[in-house]
A = this chain, B = another copy of it.
Amino acid sequence: MKNLIIASTSTVFGLGYLEYLFPVLENHFKNVSTIVFIPYARPSGITHDEYTSKVADAFEKIGKKIIGLHTFENPIEAISNAEGIFTGGGNTFLLVKQLHQTGVMTALKTALLNGTPYLGCSAGSNITGLTMETTNDMPIVYPPSFQTLGMVPFNINPHYLDPIEGSTHMGETRETRINEFHAFNTQPVLGLREGSWLEVRGEKITLKGELTARLFKQNQNPIELETESDLSHLS
């Protein structure tokens, strides 16, 4: 049975890395002592070691040990044997490229369907959707596919940003971009604002955090979903 926390962001303004999620994570990983960390998204291009060390410092505060996936000789086996898994944010193209090239994408899907507790933040959340095609990231490398894990029956847009009122910038707003996505794709897109997350327990998907989330469906006006909304039947 699926057991995931899918967070818009690792960090909310004014707090330390993952800090706003600590109470949630203590419960989510309560039967886990060691978490395998997938550092492939490499925010700002930092190394796998640097990234893992930052994550280990944060999880130490809730008594969990972190091991970077890059330190295992066989990453597929490491994922299959993991007690718990965390995929951090960074660049989604980089993350998805490496997940496909190493075969970890498939192993990860199997592990999550088998119930391994999972945390994703930002890029690590984007990959729990059907495809990575609603990422905000720059395509700095070319992945062999845009397909992702499909742990929820829709796409995720993390760090969802409302249009900036009075802006004179002519580049597209996030909403315009998601509407363009829907000119060519049918699945719903959930815009998760920073501070929101999804809790997935089996087939039940619940919106958590204090904010509303913005739901986009093809050929329909977007709607705001209240926290604690049940998204299980969305498709």
User: A residues near B, CB below 8 A?
Assistant: 9-14, 42-45, 90-91, 93-94, 132-142, 145-146, 159, 161, 168-172, 176-185, 194
B135 and A139 form a contact (CB under 8 A): yes
9 cross-chain CB contacts under 8 A: A43-B172, A93-B139, A132-B139, A134-B138, A136-B138, A140-B183, A161-B169, A161-B171, A171-B194
Q: A138-B180, A138-B181 are in contact. Are A170 and B12 (CB under 8 A)?
A: yes
Separation of A148 and B96 alpha carbons in the complex (Å):
22
- Other contacts beyond A138-B178, A140-B185: 19, CB < 8 A: A13-B168, A13-B169, A14-B168, A42-B180, A44-B179, A45-B183, A45-B184, A90-B180, A94-B184, A133-B138, A133-B140, A133-B141, A136-B172, A137-B172, A139-B146, A140-B183, A159-B171, A161-B171, A171-B194
- In the bound complex, residues from chain B placing their C-beta under 8 Å from that of A140 are 133-134, 177, 180-181, 183-185
A183 and B133 form a contact (CB under 8 A): no
Checking B11, B13, B142, B183 against A145 with a beta-carbon cut-off of 8 angstroms, the contacting residue is B142
Report copies per complex: 2
- In the bound complex, residues from chain B placing their C-beta under 8 Å from that of A168 are 13-14
Separation of A177 and B138 alpha carbons in the complex (Å):
6
A136 and B94 form a contact (CB under 8 A): no
Q: How far is the CB of A196 from chain B (nearest CB, A)?
A: 13
Separation of A138 and B178 alpha carbons in the complex (Å):
8
